[in-house]
Amino acid sequence: MKVEETDITRWTQTAEFDHLSKDPAARKLFTNAAFRSALANDAVRDALRNAAVRDALANSAVRDAMANSAVRDAMANSAVRDAMANSAVRDAMANSAVRDAMANSAVRDAMANSAVRDAMANSAVRDALANSAFSDALKNAALRDALAHE
């Protein structure tokens, strides 16, 4: 019997297939129902065709982050996904000072406060914060204490 060569038969003859078929972690992954279900999704397959997505998934820091349930929950939130689709937000997140600030619990607590978020939405407040003299003044503990005690 003659078997026609197909994409599948060609792929089974590659080094990649050989490596995957001998890798216990890969075999376990391919038997996982959730993984198979994800691969059945057109959007997932389209994303995996994107080199940037594949590069991100190959990055151990990204894999570690995605193993964190809080990160997965955040990424499931449409507001977070919308924000990350914004190039200005991505640029800000690429800035180490912004990342350091977001790692600070006081900053996270402030950003969770609706009054702070409302103030940050005000262009006059943003302009004032961008002003170096105002920024320098805020570094003064006495001024911060005075503002805190209105």
Q: Mind listing the pLDDT tens digit for each residue in 24-73?
A: 888 888 888 888 888 888 888 888 888 888 888 888 888 888 888 888 88
Confidence of residue 146 (pLDDT cuts 50, 70, 90): confident
Q: How many domains does the chain have?
A: 2
In a domain, 7, yes or no: no
Q: Mind listing the pLDDT tens digit for each residue in 74-122?
A: 888 888 888 888 999 889 989 999 889 888 888 888 888 888 888 888 8
| Higher-confidence position of 2 and 21 | 21
Confidence of residue 1 (pLDDT cuts 50, 70, 90): low
In a domain, 102, yes or no: no
In a domain, 129, yes or no: yes
Q: Structure pTM?
A: 0.45
In a domain, 91, yes or no: no
Rounded CA-CA distance 25/20 in Å is 9
In a domain, 41, yes or no: yes
Rounded CA-CA distance 71/111 in Å is 17
Domain interval for residue 137: 113-150
Q: What is the pLDDT of residue 59?
A: 84
In a domain, 61, yes or no: yes
